[in-house]
Structure 1
């Protein structure tokens, strides 16, 4: 609730790290070449407390730096929900044909009545206010209807003709606390996955296949923005983990919500510090600890691939020409096994408090046996 010409949006768990950040943003808003169509200045999200290899890929270097730098040369960076300075005017109108010169955009010199301000504030804060203003949340202010209202808002602003700027100074403008537990990371990703489906274009799947790239190109791009080899490995490993857990469950939640079988809630990422959790994280150990469906899917995939790799390798060695025939399958399965090493450790060798719960390990083994049996039955039937 403000009538200020500029608005800072910042998550409650982040803090200012550079007192010059507002001045940096003002440099763009006061520049005649940028300001007429400039909606917001986006700073990257940065985090404190990341361990040496960033095992959970909490840095989000690709999303918050690499992608934003690429978009900066087009219509501008995405709005990521925090670390942004907004032009208030862009939240309720389209870009002007020329620089505004009316009294509407001049600061009032007269004092405002405190009683009037409180009256207006109570009116806006009232839960019934938006029911009488149907354009609120769809044409005015930040967009509703998605768990990722930030991306949705930025998308709508760009569609209206507004632009944005990505500002990435050496000193982080704002800092936050990254999740230290794998469950918290995957829960956060699941929430984002559901929201991105809600905000996506109906032709999304037609475009999706265009964005295929090789791991070599991915590594080069990651290192070009200051990333390290080990952190890239953590990044791609977490990409695989999220794909078989949080993204899968997020997709399922979205489908169920569309047919009226589920109501997606907003689960705030746990930022509470636990001493043992932090110690394991600093030592580069994944923290499982909690029994979760996320971990069952991870354990099942890991077990299936290691068994497939072992039996496939034996079969390839025994059969004449088997190695040439099964080379691609062995490489793919071996790559997944390598990425799943922290899962095997948590299930079978670790004794600390962050190991995989016994119930999850048993459920993963049981589900793997069932899937192997069904697969064997299917191929036997077809033969």
Structure 2
């Protein structure tokens, strides 16, 4: 996956002598370094092939997978295609054979002096800086098999020591800024995650056009491409497509001062990452820099992962941003294929965003007087994901428990005060459905989206919120280990069939299962208030609570199947079933007695 991403950006439709690709390996793995060596060799035949046949996408794995479904055309193309595919499969086989034992053999270590660096590595969290230039674009010998220059390719594993916090992606970006300033010092920098390969070879040219715009280019700090995924199922079982966020919400930032940096697929102006403030007086200088620097020195590509609060700081320094969503997606990645992966991903996102809100980088504090209030509020859409768990937990539990106890919370249908509740519910659902369908979703996909909306807010956001609160209070974070995704050959098949994958033990699943059973017990127990009351449904004080509890039961149908009906490896673990039944019954007992 990493090597395909590297090759896809090396093959950009851009002068290779002006392109430098950096791989930031925070795992400090000699296996990754070996794979980079293989990619450097393969690039000598892959880049000419891409240019000759105008290949899209330029990730070898994605291209060959897509090309199998299309006719190859004339015999010359077929011959070249077969030859390059054979070379790719041989490289792939060598990498898999070498990495399977988990170590590099002594014979291979002798092939490149860079492997000697790992003799001094104590662990991935305790090692010196490892910097290796695998392809030096300034070297006349660094050419492909047609004699054309190759992009510069650099491997970097920044120094890490146990006694110092490495600051995740922010630390990696800082290290890359320092290293790249001595190697290429390009004025435009692309940051992309290692699992987000380039799907559009013209993305670099598109981004540079924004920076070189004669009227507004000098104001642009970064150009953000949307995040998209190639493995989304028809009905998007885990609601991973982010279509509404990328198609509606983030474009809406343009009217408020520009979109935020989402952590990947973003072209930055180097000065913005180095703390440079925007000044109108510098317009003439920016025009000169655009004409000289970008055209002569090109741009850099950084491959890494993670998120950090630079996105707000850049805009607070006066720069504006551009959100560019071309017809052909600029980058494609892999969405989670199990429920646990999805929940853990959202837990990290919500935790990181709320951590920013609770720090000095809060938009209302750091951005006061620097960015418009409407942009400060726009940021809060995401920074306050984690606290949303409180309202969601209330509606997922309290009305049902009150129904079981016989406490009415909502007006009767015959009461005019029911109209605000009905209008808010119906109009919001109708708007949500229309929005989802407008951006290519399906009715079942919208149902899955509503289900994941509940699941994320009652589990992922809850743990993200608690972790931040405990940290603010000076306590250790809530310690629980997330089991790795189910390593079973059936997982992919179940994902394609859109069968929800549980299969692992996690506190996140305990919360979901407990709430699901709680609503089922309360729904059954609350039906007595309907059957015992001889009044019509319109005058029954529990009608709305029955409907709400019933909807929650319908949303949780996959959970009930995983708890009691399924027999495959993707079912809910027995330990989760036992705990959730016990907790749900305990909550019902407390409500009753």
* Partner Cα separation in structure 2 for residue 268 and residue 172 of structure 1: 32
Cα 1:246–1:153 shift into 2, 3 Å: same
* Partner Cα separation in structure 2 for residue 34 and residue 278 of structure 1: 47
1:57-112 deviations in whole A, cap 9, x for unaligned?
Answer: 1111222332111112321111110011111122221112131428877449999x
Q: Could you tell me whether the CA contact under 8 Å between 1:188 and 1:269 is conserved in 2?
A: no
1:344-372 deviations in whole A, cap 9, x for unaligned?
Answer: 00001001110000000000000011111
| Alignment partner, residue 101 of structure 1 | 285
Q: Could you tell me whether the CA contact under 8 Å between 1:177 and 1:271 is conserved in 2?
A: no
Q: Could you tell me whether the CA contact under 8 Å between 2:503 and 2:569 is conserved in 1?
A: yes
* Partner Cα separation in structure 2 for residue 225 and residue 56 of structure 1: 17
| Alignment partner, residue 241 of structure 1 | 455
Alignment match of 1:216 (pick from 430, 444, 447) = 430
Q: Which runs of 5+ in 1 are unaligned?
A: 112-146, 378-383
1:249-303 deviations in whole A, cap 9, x for unaligned?
Answer: 11111111112222489x9997897521111111111111011111111111001
Q: Which runs of 5+ in 2 are unaligned?
A: 1-175, 298-305, 365-375, 389-423
| Alignment partner, residue 20 of structure 2 | none
Whether 1:336 and 2:519 are equivalent positions in the alignment is: no
* Partner Cα separation in structure 1 for residue 544 and residue 316 of structure 2: 44
| Alignment partner, residue 362 of structure 1 | 578
1:305-347 deviations in whole A, cap 9, x for unaligned?
Answer: 1111122223212222374211110111111111101000000
Q: Could you tell me whether the CA contact under 8 Å between 1:257 and 1:264 is conserved in 2?
A: no
Identify which of structures 1 and 2 has the higher relative contact order when contacts are C-alpha pairs closer than 8 Å and 6+ apart: 1
Cα 1:268–1:177 shift into 2, 3 Å: farther
Alignment match of 1:51 (pick from 233, 245, 259) = 233
RMSD (Å) for aligned C-alpha atoms? 3.0
1:218-241 deviations in whole A, cap 9, x for unaligned?
Answer: 222223333332222222210100
Aligned positions of 1:136-155 closer than 5 A: 148-149=307-308, 152-155=309-312
Q: Could you tell me whether the CA contact under 8 Å between 2:212 and 2:218 is conserved in 1?
A: no
Cα 1:216–1:93 shift into 2, 3 Å: same
| Alignment partner, residue 263 of structure 2 | 81
* Partner Cα separation in structure 2 for residue 243 and residue 30 of structure 1: 42
| Alignment partner, residue 209 of structure 2 | 27
* Partner Cα separation in structure 2 for residue 53 and residue 94 of structure 1: 45
Cα 1:192–1:332 shift into 2, 3 Å: same
Aligned positions of 1:3-14 closer than 5 A: 3-14=185-196
| Alignment partner, residue 372 of structure 1 | 588
Deviation at 1:199, TM superposition (A): 1.1
* Partner Cα separation in structure 1 for residue 294 and residue 524 of structure 2: 75
| Alignment partner, residue 181 of structure 1 | 338
| Alignment partner, residue 441 of structure 2 | 227
My pick for the range that moved more, 163-172 or 349-358, is 163-172
* Partner Cα separation in structure 1 for residue 477 and residue 562 of structure 2: 32
Q: Could you tell me whether the CA contact under 8 Å between 2:188 and 2:294 is conserved in 1?
A: no
Cα 1:171–1:272 shift into 2, 3 Å: farther
Aligned positions of 1:182-197 closer than 5 A: 182-197=339-354
